Amino acid sequence: MRTTAQILAAVDAVAGSARSLPELLCDDCATHLGLVGAGIALMNDTGHQGVVGASDALTARLEELQFELGEGPGLDASRDNAPILRSDLGARGSATWPVFGPVAVAAGVSAVFALPLQVGAVRLGSLCLYRSAPGSLGVEGTATALAYADAATEVLLRLHAEVAPGSSLHSDLGDMLRLRAEVHQATGFVSVQASVGITEALLLLRAHAFAADRPLLDVARDVLSGRLRIPLQEGEDG
């Protein structure tokens, strides 16, 4: 079993590469626990705010999918401030996450474990662990996963503490949130175009991205540029 201190020491030993600290931690976590991948997303009281670290492209896509769909283990873990442990995603994931579950299974994920990253009442994010084979992490694996969650929390706090005066977020965290701002702006556009509320507008945006199999950010940019108009009624020309 690895301790939080050992994990942080391992990540710090390779810091300074082209990858951010959250990405390096996800790499180390996936390798040490024998996972398909691991990902870290920022969360707050309003929900998913952006993916800040992923061990690989598949994990990055699954983490992004949770934002696009508004459902998934990381969101549930952060909202409930409790671990979400699904040792057989094929058996239970479809009922819990009707869209995310089947997509993850089709991508080769058979088990997922999400851990909240929180300090007191302050939500920071979630750490999601993806496995190709069903089954639990076991006693030692669970203890190690919790140590990685503690390390991820420490990394996020460290990045927050390193911001320059006048800046709100470290660049490793802020870049993704600036991209998220484009999604929020596009949601406002759709709200006006379709004459619906912000919540329904975001659902329309997410539904279009999912149906078109495109990243939500790309769809948002098309809306903002005027290349795309998302209709309220299905089948209406956009």
| pLDDT score at 166 | 46
**Phi and psi based region of residue 76 (left: phi greater than 0; alpha: psi -120 to 50; beta: remaining):** alpha
Residue with tokens 């998220």: 180
Q: Report the distance separating Cα 206 and Cα 67, nearest Å.
A: 9
Q: In sequence order, what are the beta bridge partners of 85?
A: 113
Q: Any idea which of 2-6, 23-27, 38-42, 118-122 has the lowest mean pLDDT?
A: 118-122
Q: From residue 225, how far is each of 156, 177, 228, 229 by CA, in Å?
A: 33, 19, 8, 10
Structural domains in the chain plus CATH codes: 4-161 (3.30.450.40), 171-225 (1.10.10.10)
**188 is written with which tokens?**
């406002």
pLDDT band at 236 (very low <50, low <70, confident <90, very high): very low
pTM above 0.85, yes or no: no
- Model pLDDT for residues 187-228, shown as the tens digit of each residue: 888 888 888 877 778 778 877 887 787 877 788 889 888 888
Mean of the per-residue pLDDT values of the chain: 83
Neighbours of 223 (CB within 10 A): 25
SS3 content of the chain, % helix, strand, coil (to 5): 55, 15, 30
SS3 sequence of 25-43: HHHHHHHHHCCCEEEEEEE
Q: Which residues contact 109 (CB under 8 A, 6 or more apart)?
A: 36, 62, 89, 130, 131, 132
- Model pLDDT for residues 139-198, shown as the tens digit of each residue: 999 999 999 999 999 888 877 665 444 444 444 454 555 556 677 788 888 888 888 877
